Chains A and B, each alone.
Chain A
Amino acid sequence: MESDELFINMGPVHPSTHGVARFKLRMDGESIKECTPVIGYLHRGTEKIGEMKTYLQFIPYTDRLDYIAAFPNNYAYVKAVEELAGIEVPLRAEYIRVLTMELNRIVNHIVSIGSLLMDLGAATMIMWGFRERENALQLFEMLCGARMTFNYIKPGGVREDIPDGFIPKLNEFIKDMEKRIVDYEQLINGNEIFHMRMKNIGVISGKDAVNYGWTGPTLRGSGVDYDLRKYEPYSIYPDLDFKVCVRKEGDSYARFIVRMDEMKESLHILRQVVDNMPATKLISMAEYGISPMTGTPTAVSTYFPRIFTPPAGEVYSRIEAPKGELGFYVVSDGTTKPYRVKIRSPSFCNLTAIPSLVKGLKIGDLIAAFGTIDVVLGDVDR
């Protein structure tokens, strides 16, 4: 039976597009016949700005890519620059970096799960989640004075050493969070309607997911055991004990569960980081003085000059950000500014699969599937 098609423009201003994504939908009644994502409504030209700023000036802009989890963005760029310039980082600084990144992973997953549930119509989870997120943000504030956009990780270390009283508060947070995750599971996972909405929706096989360039929890939800922290280790991850959370089903529910498990793993990592952190304090910028940079910085320094010139060359460096593989391709021509900065953002590549993922599903499933892919439009559009 033929029926009239309905063309719907969903977004860019729509409550469940996580910002400014837009979907052009061809609908047959309630079913989606074709979904065409239109992106670029938050395209801010970050890559061009990267060419116009010095290496250090560009770090704040990386904060604003994936603004829910900014530390990994900082780190990914700084890691690329460090590899390019061959800079050694003191061990304590690496521990602090991992600490911030794992905290940020928890924050990211809280927001991700919360907004997924909000899109499904249950607003309570995001309210609860933001309560715990606020505690984490207070920790970030102690570290660097900012809540969301940090500019904290610098080449050669971090901007400041962790302040006094940070570790006890962190321990408190970890202890609290353990209980809260159980709460979340009871609230969400014990709900039959949630299972009805999530299971067997937006199924993608591991092979297809790889073909689409999926990474991160979305890929691990499809049964591909892959985590850059484990299989292309960087920083201090080789010394840490954690497991990669994988689910076989490849549906929305699997992706949700992977995020839940990763939060627990991150807590586990945080505890190890706190226990094993080297005691030697980092020398801060003020103590180091403002002498100009000559050669590589000393091993216990967080100091790094404002202007420096790495040797000419190019590097592609990737890390496991909360949303997936975040890569920076930095080309240096031996001047104070990068010649080209290319950002490989996880959200952008994960969003590619949306049209095939939601074909034939209902409009409510589009929202559920989109929510489990967990994109941030700043990261997609750059």
Chain B
Amino acid sequence: MEKGGIRVDPVTIDTTKIKHTKKQPVTALEKLNDTGLISTLLAAREREGMILFSTIDQVFNWARLSSLWPVTSGLACCAIEMMAVAMAHHDIARFGMEIFRASPRQADLMFVAGTVTKRMAPRVKQLYEMMPDPKWVIAVGGCASTGGPYHESYSVLKGVDLIIPVDVYIPGCPPRPEAWIYGVIQLREKIKNQGYGAKWGLNK
């Protein structure tokens, strides 16, 4: 059986040796979620508006919106404006965002800054998947949002939201740093209003 260039041989798979049929819990919270405790509490909160939970909400959301560490990944023209945002004149450090982590494992936020080409798309997706939850994505500029001026090109992905979920879109080609900061403020508003565990998929 030939599929996508990789040979798959059905005979070699020994099903008796597969021990874990269930997906392993990833985070402690998901483990908790499996016990049903959190969903019960969340349901209670939905019904009665538990004060304790809303306080935790506020503290964690405040912490998250105050320390959004972006991952260092510039793709194209917008990356230069990303540098400009981080540099002296506009200084995104005021929001505690100057810690650009080169390793996605330590980042919370990804700026998709620039044209996502077909060749780059799987890497952007991989980068997103490497980031730990909770994580956010801002699509910056026309190219990342829709393909922009390169919409009709043969090698450009028509919007990064085809491959990863996007929280905030910033228009512009490239967006001015002011627009960029406005986008960041919008994301902060969004985080402020989200529920606890929203980004872990626990509210479903």
Contacts and interface: CB of A to CB of B under 8 A. Distances in A.
The short answer to whether A and B are in direct contact, CB under 8 Å, is yes
Interface of A: 12-15, 19-20, 40-46, 48-49, 52, 60-61, 64, 67-68, 111, 126-128, 130-131, 133-134, 137, 147-149, 377-378
8 contacts: A20-B74, A42-B75, A43-B155, A45-B150, A48-B154, A49-B150, A148-B77, A377-B76
B88 A134 contact: yes
Most B CB within 10 A of own CB, among A20, A48, A128? A20
Contact of B87 (A41, A61, A64, A130): A130
A354 to B, nearest CB: 19
B88 A130 contact: yes
Contacts, number: 92
Contacts of A128: 88
Nearest to B85: A130
Interface of B: 72-77, 79-81, 83-84, 87-89, 102, 114-115, 117, 119-120, 123, 127, 149-150, 152-156, 173-174, 176
Contacts of A133: 84
Given A20-B75, A43-B117, 15 more contacts: A19-B114, A41-B119, A45-B150, A45-B153, A45-B154, A45-B155, A49-B152, A52-B152, A64-B77, A64-B149, A67-B80, A130-B84, A130-B88, A134-B88, A148-B81
A128 B119 CA distance: 34
A111 B81 CA distance: 12
Most A CB within 10 A of own CB, among B72, B73, B83? B83
A186 to B, nearest CB: 18
Contacts of B155: 43-45
Tell me whether chain B's interface is mostly helix, strand or loop, or mixed.
Answer: loop
A44 B74 contact: no
B80 A149 contact: no
B99 to A, nearest CB: 12
A41 B150 contact: no
A240 to B, nearest CB: 28
A313 to B, nearest CB: 27
A64 B115 CA distance: 10
Nearest to B71: A13
B87 to A, nearest CB: 3
A41 B80 contact: no
Given A61-B149, A126-B87, A147 B77 contact: no
Nearest to A22: B123
Nearest to A376: B80
Contact of A44 (B72, B127, B153, B176): B153
